[in-house]
Every structure is written in C-alpha cells, then in structure tokens.
Amino acid sequence: MRTTDRLLVLTAIVVACLALLRVGGSSGVADPVGHWLETLGPAESLELTGTDPLLVRNADGRIGWGEEPTSRAWSIGSVHIDDVIKKLLQTEDYLGEREELQTELKEIEAEFNERAQEIQGEYGEIGEDDPQFPEAQGRMQALMQEYQQFTQLSRGRITKLEAEQLERSYRELIEATEIVADQRSIDFVFRFIPTAEVFGTQNAEQAMLQIQLRTFLKYPEAVDITGQVIEELDLE
C-alpha cells in the first residue's frame, strides 16, 4: 500500500473514532475530545498582536495584562445601602434601644409636668399684686430653665444614639457585604441608588443631591447584590 493510501486510511480511522466519541458524549458519556476542542490551554500566557502587543496572563485568579498589581480585571458589585440600613434600623435590637431612651425621657418630662402642677396648686391663681407672686414666679422660672436644659440634653442623647446606630448598622452592612463578595468572588462593591427609584424631594438642592448619589447611570442587573446582602443579614 502506498504512503498516500495509508495516510487516507489513518485519517478515516481518526475521523471515525472522533465520531464515535461524540456519539457517546451525546448519550450521557463524558466527551473528552469535545471538551478539548472547547477549551483553550492550559497556557502560561496569551500574546495578542497589534501596534502595542499585549501579554495576557493569570494574575492571582484574575485576568492580568501588565506588571503593575492594578493591571488586571476586577469583578464589581453594588449594594443599595440606604435600603439595607433602613431595614437594619427597624430590627428589634435597634428599635428597642430607641424605645428605651424615649420611655426614659418621657418619664423625666412627666416629672417636670408634675412639679409645675404642684407649684400652680400651691399658689393657685395669684396676681402680680399678691405678696407671694415673686416667689411663685421665681420657682416657675427656675423650673422652666431646668426643663430647657433637660430638653437640650435629651436632643443630644437622641442624636448620639442615632449616630451610634447608624455607624453600627453600617458595620453590619460591611461585614455582610464582605461575606457575599467572598462567596461570589467580587473585588469591588459600590454603594448605589437604583436609577428607577423616585427622588421624593421637595426642592432643587435635594434633587441634585439625589442625582449625585446615584453612582451608576446604566448598569447590568447582575451587579446588584443588595438582595444577597439582605438575605445574609436575615432581614426578610
């Protein structure tokens, strides 16, 4: 048999074997040849030609194209932090703290009302000509000054608690975001407000702030991991 004929026979055998392997793969058997044809590599790197040739490589599990640590492709996600933090602040722990403070302040305010009523009951409806009027007026003014100091301290305590709760909810948000990002191999997570959400503003300054806070003008829905973060925090 001539060499040419032998090559033709060998080629026919290889083609027949490949066809059999593909038929086996279609019936549920692993198709190693098909997998080989669909997969490029393994390779240390890939050089793309052009005016400025580019060498693409595996940089710690990311597509890299240079020596700088930032010369690589990063995976991104986004979280609607306003939605998550509002849900956190409505949970039992946060609500309980605010209600406890409000109850305490209301009890103190009730004591001031009782003291004011006692002064009024002690002096009754006296006029300015009454000898006891200066004394009654002085006691009531002193009580009012004390009450004003109390209201200032109350506002301070409320503001402080609100700030503490906001920071704590933010830390919880960050912790949950890191867990979800690690699970989904996400490198960057941006805070954002969905473009479709209504502004709900009453003046131009607030409307402009809403525009400035909306990081993305267009984005694929897949980058929004708000639902996964809410699920991680068990807020549903």
Q: Which residues contact 1 (CB under 8 A, 6 or more apart)?
A: 9
Token reading at 13 = 């055998």
Binned at pLDDT 50, 70 and 90, residue 37 comes out as: low
Q: Are 235 and 80 in contact (CB under 8 A)?
A: no
**CA–CA separation, 30 vs 36, rounded Å?**
12
Q: Are 226 and 115 in contact (CB under 8 A)?
A: no
User: What's the pLDDT tens digit per position in 131-152?
Assistant: 888 898 899 999 999 999 999 9
Which of 75, 77, 78, 76 is CA-nearest to residue 193?
78
Binned at pLDDT 50, 70 and 90, residue 211 comes out as: very high
- pTM (predicted TM-score): 0.74
Lowest mean pLDDT among 43-47, 83-87, 191-195: 43-47
Mean per-residue pLDDT of the chain: 87
For 81-102, letters b (16+ CB in 10 Å) and e give bebbbeebbeeeebeeeeeeee
User: What's the pLDDT tens digit per position in 55-102?
Assistant: 999 998 899 998 898 999 999 999 999 999 999 999 999 999 999 999
Q: Which residues contact 150 (CB under 8 A, 6 or more apart)?
A: 108, 109, 112
